[in-house]
Structure 1
Amino acid sequence: MQLSARNNLKGKVVKLTPGAVNTEVQLQLPGGDIVVSIITKESAEKLGLEVGKEAYAIIKASNIMIAVD
């Protein structure tokens, strides 16, 4: 797999929550942190996602904001 996004995190799918249109995917990273993404149900099916399968979280963002109280 080659792509231009530099922020890609490899992990393991630990939970899938399918809905009528979207699926919530929880990906556990090697250090134990969890990344959560909402993707279309169709995409989850096409990727063959299932608990225990390795996958990548690809992060492509032009802005990241930080806030404090």
Structure 2
Amino acid sequence: MSVTSINTRNQFKGQIVAIKRGEIVSEVEIETSAGIISAVVTTSSLQRLNLRVGNAALALFKATEVMIAKLADD
């Protein structure tokens, strides 16, 4: 599955540079043109999205939440 459109305008494209994996939640760091953006996601989502250091990703902002969409490899 790939994201073709989304209603969130606040988004930064970048690359995952670090993952701090926890038992229940994990922290994902994405390097963007605006700097490093960190997001806390459930570890089950980390596994389901198959997020890895080096993946292209979007940091999506809506209100006070940060969501991540993994992009297809270039």
1:53 maps onto 2:52 in alignment:
no
Q: Specify the SS of the correspondent of 2:53.
A: coil
Name the CA distance, whole Å, in 2 between partners of 1:46 and 1:30: 26
Q: Distance in 1 between matches of 2:53 and 2:23?
A: 19
Q: Does 1:37 align with 2:39?
A: yes
**TM-score using structure 2 length:** 0.76
Which amino acid counterpart does residue 57 of structure 2 have in structure 1? A
* Structure 1 spans left out of the alignment, 5+ residues: 63-69
Unaligned runs of 5+ in 2: 65-74
CA RMSD of aligned residues (A): 1.3
Following superposition, which runs of at least 4 residues in structure 1 exceed 3 angstroms of deviation? Answer: none
Greater per-residue strand proportion: 2
| Structure having greater relative contact order (Cα 8 Å, sep ≥ 6) | 1
CA distance in 1, matches of 2:6, 2:22: 29
With structure 1 as the length reference, what TM-score do the two structures score? Answer: 0.82
Aligned residues: 61
